[in-house]
Structure 1
């Protein structure tokens, strides 16, 4: 939208001047194009995505009865909420897929216009990536953006990929999402509970910025999360950098926890019971886990697989060389 005084005949020319003066970033232009395509083609794309009526009849049937018989109403409501969120995500992805080509073509036109103007569009961001410190911060924030989902206030259900802190320790939930929903079969323990939900978590260790190199970033062991408490992006890895130089990279630290309230996260807090062995009993201290971030599914799956690789590693029966002077 452009406001001009009465008189000009070339209104599109005036709008172009306003856009050039505003200097929107390429990212904002792509976002505007996405909204435009969604508005102009959204109904058609929506019709195409909804044409398989059997699929959506089955979806609606699943949310009418969102959990197994016997699950308390609060947990059933959580299960229905999860299924609705999952449906919205899949439907949004399907609609976006149908309009992607137009947006990609528009992105190519942005690049062409930038080339014609002498590559000036990058300056619209107001970020000087030639500064090494700024560049590193931009890389950290970008890595966090591509690997984590936005956090929002309110209640949520503990899910694979949720990163939380217990005291000073960082953990990532590494149990598949299907085992975390209320009403599912209990894992790790016999019996069942309408209050407790067992889950596996993998311990993550903060990596000092000065120790982090590209080989570590691309190793598949690291993730980047935005800590809302500090306002900084933190790199978390499966092992410390000195330990990464050792060959046993499959060995990780994981534990079985119990989430109270069937894994309900309320205002960023999840009540967690940690199992602790003593000489003859098992202690079960309760903690408040502070949920910091949630990984996108493909990044969460990486950590789920790391737990499997850790418990199935071979070579534990090999003899070791003697240490020190005895070699």
Structure 2
């Protein structure tokens, strides 16, 4: 029987759960259960769980969910109390060891409605490197709790915005700023936060319509006669005041909260975790609430596959690791090379071996992941592909411009990868002046401080390589020719944080010879420790003056802005080699001429 997409979300995120930690000041720890009743009441006078059968039943129902014979969970309980702040910090650091954290909102009974401690725990849990599933389990109003979590897990978003205060808006603020600030609270702040599917124009439209939670704000603007063009700047001004007045509530660290649901099913998705919310009074079990929140998030098929891969790694990693390691003599040679290697070459040797082992490890894990991917496909098999894609990705491939951009993104993703390596390698893309060049020298010849033979142009501290000049192409030209060979698609990053999808050809036209030249890179090819590395390159150039008969050596700064995946770099390299060995090397073509940047056309 084919599974629904919802079932597959559960298989990827819920089924791998093995350990559960409940943090609740009303729950009994194993320590206090072992105490005599009188001693327990003396040490823990504020706890209600043992005061009546009803209270015991509430706690027992939650614990039984994770202690059934068919439930494979390791359960622990922490009551949220600590003898000291240092102890509390150690306990928070240990939370990354649990797969599901069930977190009570009010962890200090004497401070009614105060979630400070729970918010602190959630921030710390989402700051560690382990992906955390968190369920906030509370008797408080869920909307208020959700808003508190959103603010606590977010850094201020509006403080640096430049708000234009016109004369008329200033007059309004002089008279009614206090009333406006009173109307812009937690709900309005969360409703104004930028996100992928909510732009500034959407916030403006919601304010002008008086949509929840902007009704009272709209009424204030209308009553005081503020022009509609001033409404959004007025709200931004109030949001900045809100951030200033509540600066202690915000996170000091960027936790990358990038998606959330504020409807009936509330959730928060951060870079390293997922937070769901559930009322203690609804009588529902806890895991279904987590599952329902994950459904509301609706993770995309690629994320489901990678989550399944992570689960397979946890489940079968040790078994698969033994096969990936190979025979002892294989490891012996690698470790011998590690011990003998110079420090400059150490990273290359280690990284290369890790990649080889990782490939073998993935080969063992991929069959189950592939089978899971087929289940995803089967779940959508009855839907129109365009509509299924739109539902999962919010991308409408029926629109030509959207389809073209998506194809560019796909081709750049499969054809390139991040270019951060120890040294310049085969497949690196360099930008020199306004031209883009591709390093085509075999990987073994790009290893620093290693040269085959004794080349006469070998210079100390310089690494020689063959550079092929890339011909930029527009998407409308590149995409129809994508499978004809010689096409290059890459994510190119010239400034940190700004990647562009670019397309190139290895030659000016199909079947033409590529333009290339020999370049030299300084520092033996080692790349500096920069997000976008810059290197000094040198090349031989014809003289500027006709009177000068000698060639000149020119120098320039190059930006290492991208890198092709190995197999795609090899395809371009093979075409270049073919162009060098073709019959008819002495023929002259009609369009033979300057290729740009003194490059040689083969």
TM-score (norm 2): 0.47
User: How far did 1:44 drift?
Assistant: 1.2
- Aligned partner (choices 179, 186, 199) of residue 465 of structure 2: 199
Q: Deviations over 1:72-103 (max 9, x none)?
A: xxxx4332111111112111111111110110
Tell me the secondary structure at the aligned position of residue 537 of structure 2.
strand
- Equivalence for 1:219: 484
Aligned residues: 303
Tell me the secondary structure at the aligned position of residue 557 of structure 2.
strand
2:326, 2:491 → 1: CA distance?
39
**Contact 1:23–1:124 (Cα < 8 Å) also in 2:** yes
Going from structure 1 to structure 2, the CA distance change for 1:53 and 1:197 (only over 3 Å counts) comes to same
- Equivalence for 2:347: 81
User: How far did 1:254 drift?
Assistant: 1.2
- Equivalence for 1:53: 328
Larger Rg: 2
Query: Is the aligned partner of 1:98 residue 2:364?
Result: yes
1:61, 1:166 → 2: CA distance?
39
User: How far did 1:130 drift?
Assistant: 1.2
Alignment of 1:180-191 (within 5 A): 180-185=446-451, 189-190=455-456
**Contact 1:187–1:199 (Cα < 8 Å) also in 2:** no
1:213, 1:106 → 2: CA distance?
30
Q: Which runs of 5+ in 1 are unaligned?
A: 67-75, 322-327
Alignment of 1:35-184 (within 5 A): 35-66=310-341, 76-115=342-381, 121-122=388-389, 123-152=391-420, 156-184=422-450
- Equivalence for 1:262: 524
**Contact 1:269–1:289 (Cα < 8 Å) also in 2:** yes
User: How far did 1:16 drift?
Assistant: 3.4
User: How far did 1:263 drift?
Assistant: 0.6
**Contact 1:179–1:187 (Cα < 8 Å) also in 2:** no
Query: Which structure's relative contact order is higher, taking Cα pairs within 8 Å and 6+ residues apart?
Result: 1
2:491, 2:410 → 1: CA distance?
11
**Contact 1:207–1:235 (Cα < 8 Å) also in 2:** yes
**Contact 1:186–1:192 (Cα < 8 Å) also in 2:** no
Tell me the secondary structure at the aligned position of residue 278 of structure 2.
coil
Tell me the secondary structure at the aligned position of residue 559 of structure 2.
strand
1:320, 1:251 → 2: CA distance?
10
Query: Is the aligned partner of 1:307 residue 2:576?
Result: yes
User: How far did 1:30 drift?
Assistant: 0.7
- Equivalence for 1:5: 279
- RMSD of equivalent CA atoms: 2.5
User: How far did 1:46 drift?
Assistant: 0.9
Q: Deviations over 1:99-133 (max 9, x none)?
A: 10110111111122223677765212111111110
User: How far did 1:317 drift?
Assistant: 4.8
- Equivalence for 2:536: 271
- Equivalence for 2:514: 252
Tell me the secondary structure at the aligned position of residue 296 of structure 2.
helix
2:296, 2:573 → 1: CA distance?
49
**Contact 1:250–1:309 (Cα < 8 Å) also in 2:** no
1:24, 1:103 → 2: CA distance?
16
User: How far did 1:319 drift?
Assistant: 8.9
User: How far did 1:305 drift?
Assistant: 1.6
Q: Deviations over 1:283-321 (max 9, x none)?
A: 111111111111111111122222211211112456999
Structure 1 window deviating more from structure 2 (119-128 vs 78-87): it is 119-128
1:188, 1:307 → 2: CA distance?
24
Going from structure 1 to structure 2, the CA distance change for 1:169 and 1:208 (only over 3 Å counts) comes to same
Tell me the secondary structure at the aligned position of residue 220 of structure 1.
coil
TM-score (norm 1): 0.84
1:223, 1:159 → 2: CA distance?
17
